[in-house]
A and B are shown apart, each in its own frame.
Chain A
Amino acid sequence: MDFLIPFMQVWVIAELCVAAVMLVLTALPHFYTTAAPRTASLTLGLVLLAYPVGIFIDKGTGPKDPLPVALGNIFVVYLPGVLMAGAVLLAVVTLIRRPKVTTPKRGLKRSDKRAIGRGLQYGLFLALLIVVVIQMNWDYLSQRFFTVAALREAWPDQMIHALLNTLKYTLGAFAVSLTLGMILALAKLSSVKLYRYLATGYIELFRGLPALLIVMAVAYGVPMALGIRIPTLALKAAIALGLVSAAYMAESLRAGIQAVPKGQVEAARSLGMSYGQTMISVVIPQAIRIVLPPVTNEIILLTKDTSLVYLAGVTMAEWELTKLARESVAEPYGGLTALFAIGACYLIITLPLGFLVRRMEKGFGKARA
């Protein structure tokens, strides 16, 4: 691959020259007459500048393997070539198509300034990305993070099992959280002072304590203190994480219930509906739409908090994703590939959830003003 070296020198100099020309042309007040080509010109200039910069600061990341060289061919050689061609084309076309009589205007137009600002943002972002991509030690990364062999042990049985366990713990905890959170929210809105105090006390307490502590307390403290054996780990997880989450859930639900206009309650009560009927048929259905985003947030947090379950002492059958990852990383030839795979598993749970909620929110649109 040594033949590339002198060629690269020429290539880098060319890139710098074209970049400089494009930036100068962008700065000329009258060369581009509309915003779009000006933005394109600025972006091209910055991106072409980024390649040489990325290569020059590419030092000390160890020997290059086939992957980065191949990458280099695509990103460092061909793509800049295409970009340079594009830049030259843009400049030439602009030159040819320039209107014959130009009425010189002072300074840049408002739309031009906007375009330059936009172009700067795009250009800088792309330039940064290119520098990072060129800089990255791909072959080291691929070895540490993408060695499929390291997964052989865990894939697919253990991983699917752990994924299902994570889901199970999350759903259990969510059920506890929603039920208890609802009770706490209603207690906080109650006209009975004692209920309000109790709810506030609970919320302050469980919001302030680390979830880790609660998991240990439920797993070891409660059985010791009360002599109750919580039979399964899933139940321990549901209770411990649910107790913590309920504190946050209660606040979200309370805010949602309070956001339903008072007139709704009055209308329902004036029809003879009881407080309970009013809550169930009128207030809560409307509050749900309001609390959907914060509640989704809570589920996502719960999903991740299930990683604390290992503190309760888990058998292999009870491993959830993070525990599996910890064990896999400890394997002799594991590397960090397991972490990467497990991270992807979490996203498999959380991304569809976000998607689902956005869909539901759209569905509600019809009943909105």
Chain B
Amino acid sequence: MSDVVVQIEGLHKSFGDHHVLKGIDLTIHEREVVCVIGPSGSGKSTLLRCVNMLEQPSAGRVWLLGTEVTDPEVDLDEVRTHVGMVFQQFNLFPHKTVLGNLTLAQVKVLGRSRAEAEAVARRNLEQVGLADRADAYPAQLSGGQQQRVAIARALSMDPKLMLFDEPTSALDPELVGDVLAVMRDLAKAGMTMMVVTHEMAFARDVGDRVVFMDDGVVVEDGPAAQVITDPQTERARVFLHRVLHPTEVDDAELGQTDASRAAAASERGRGGHGHRPPRAGGYGAGGASPIKLTDH
């Protein structure tokens, strides 16, 4: 068990009487990249936020790096220093420069000297390809640059685990590749990662495992390529079809055969609007199309 980084047992979470997570069991080992996919509202973000206790679970236990974080006596701040988190909305500190963003917690929490913290910060900025923007303010950066700074900020704490909550969902399509490239490099370097994403190509090619969630439970959990290209459950099949072939989705019943889909196609244009298109569906997602990750 020494290489277990995250262990979740019987995790439940309710907001009021809204039961969002309904018993999750999940184990993540060292150097593993686990991608969490699933429909909107299925509880992916909530699960991720329960891992570093930004949300207090209603029931169940969570261990991080051998420490039980659901234990009320645990020093959460200490545990969190080993767990980096990257948010959909970047959440950079707008009143600090890029360098200030990267050094703040190093100095305040890890007690590093300013010089040491800056050296670490610059090394991480280099790694995400933004060494020249150290003195810029977040507002002066593009979304893609901001998200890479956010990743560098998390990395500056030398985490053992990185959590990503839809890190590319708020980005313009042409900026997504830069961020994914950074994440891919990170995975290659052996970082343990838990990634909530709608980028199926990324999940397939970079992920070791893919977890498909629906309605607060883990429906499917297996090797990345298998879950993405050959899902074993009907729910996963329907979801993946909608994400990978968004133009073929219409308001006829889901999961139908080609024939009935063709019949429904005549209504297309009027229909289909009711569906929320999966956000990243159109982006290099087609199962057959080659994945392209821009290098920085």
Contacts and interface: CB of A to CB of B under 8 A. Distances in A.
Q: Do A and B bind each other?
A: yes
Q: Which of B93, B96, B138, B139 has the most CB of A within 10 A?
A: B93
A267 B104 contact: no
Given A281-B108, A367-B137, A272 B77 contact: yes
A242 to B, nearest CB: 28
B144 interface: no
A110 B92 CA distance: 48
Contact of B94 (A268, A269, A272, A367): A367
B36 to A, nearest CB: 17
B139 A368 contact: yes
Contact of A266 (B54, B94, B96): B54
B18 interface: no
B19 to A, nearest CB: 23
A95 B266 CA distance: 69
Interface in A188-244: none
A285 interface: yes
Given A270-B52, A272-B105, A367 B78 contact: no
Interface stretch (B6-14, B82-90, B175-183, B247-255): B82-90
B109 A277 contact: yes
B67 interface: no
Contact of A270 (B54, B93, B110, B138): B54
A269 B85 CA distance: 10
B93 A267 contact: yes
B109 A263 contact: no
* Closest 8 A/B residue pairs (Cβ): A272-B81, A271-B105, A267-B91, A270-B85, A263-B91, A272-B80, A369-B139, A272-B109
Contact of A285 (B95, B108, B109): B95
A235 B181 CA distance: 62
A264 B54 CA distance: 12
A286 B150 CA distance: 18
B77 A367 contact: no
A272 B95 contact: no
B15 to A, nearest CB: 15
B80 A270 contact: yes
Interface in B59-113: 77-78, 80-81, 83-85, 87, 89, 91-96, 104-105, 108-110
Contacts of A277: 108-109
A243 to B, nearest CB: 31
Contacts of B285: none
Chain B: number of interface residues, binned into ranges: 20 to 34
Q: Which of B52, B83, B91, B110 has the most CB of A within 10 A?
A: B91
B109 A366 contact: no
A186 to B, nearest CB: 19
Given A285-B95, A367-B94, A368-B94, A273 B54 contact: no
B170 to A, nearest CB: 11
Interface in A275-306: 277, 281-282, 285-286, 289
A264 B96 CA distance: 12
A138 B91 CA distance: 62
A368 B83 CA distance: 29
B108 A366 contact: no
A267 B88 CA distance: 11
Interface string B151-165: 001100100000000
Interface of B: 52, 54, 77-78, 80-81, 83-85, 87, 89, 91-96, 104-105, 108-110, 137-140, 150, 153-154, 157
Query: Could you tell me the dominant secondary structure of chain A's interface residues?
Result: helix
A273 B94 contact: no
Given A268-B105, A273-B77, A367 B87 contact: no
Interface residues of A, number: 22
A258 interface: no
Given A266-B87, A269-B54, A286 B95 contact: yes
Contacts of A264: 91, 93
Nearest to B137: A367
A369 B138 CA distance: 8
A291 to B, nearest CB: 14
A268 B77 CA distance: 10
A268 B154 CA distance: 10
A363 to B, nearest CB: 12
Contact of B84 (A268, A270, A289): A270
Nearest to A282: B93
Contacts of A366: 137, 139-140
A269 B93 CA distance: 12
B174 to A, nearest CB: 20
Given A263-B91, A282-B104, 5 more contacts: A264-B93, A266-B87, A266-B91, A285-B95, A366-B137
Contacts of B54: 266, 269-270
A34 interface: no
Contacts of B139: 366-369
Interface string A356-369: 00000000001111
A282 B95 CA distance: 8
Contacts of A272: 77-78, 80-81, 105, 109-110, 157
A367 B95 contact: yes
A267 B157 CA distance: 13
12 contacts: A264-B91, A267-B92, A269-B54, A270-B52, A271-B81, A272-B110, A272-B157, A273-B104, A277-B108, A286-B95, A289-B95, A366-B139
A274 interface: yes
